[in-house]
Amino acid sequence: MRAIAHQFRGIGAKLLVKAESIAKEKGLTYLEAWTRDDDWVNALYHKNGFVTSYSYLHVFLEGEEIQGVVKKVESYFNVGQAFAHYTGNEKEDVKIKFNRVHECFCYEKMLR
């Protein structure tokens, strides 16, 4: 509960402003941020001038989901769980096929 009490109070936006200031002082030309598909976090980046530059799916495979997706390399390995990144064009199909899928976004903001 304690962390929730601090959400939505503008702290994240203030941190982004400070990071941008420091980055400019250091001569950087852009900021880059990576996050998952949490709507409120994505809204924070968009609201603060970031644009989506790239995304991929982070897929957690377990049980029968692994069969046909993960190839067994050595006979003495049994894959019980796996993390995978999907970068193809059939993202909606992947989201339907697997139980635990998160879209990861790269945001960029050009500094002037």
> Residues 64-87: pLDDT tens digits?
888 888 877 777 878 889 999 999
Distance of CA 61 to the CA centre of its chain: 17
Beta bridge partners, 60, equal 83, 100
Q: For 23-79, how does the pLDDT look when each residue is reduced to its tens digit (9 = 90+)?
A: 999 999 999 999 998 898 899 999 999 999 999 999 999 988 888 888 777 778 788
- Taking the complete model, does pTM exceed 0.85, yes or no? no
At residue 60's C-alpha, the angle toward residues 4 and 64, to 5°, is 135
Query: Distance (Å, rounded) from C-alpha 44 to C-alpha 50?
Result: 9
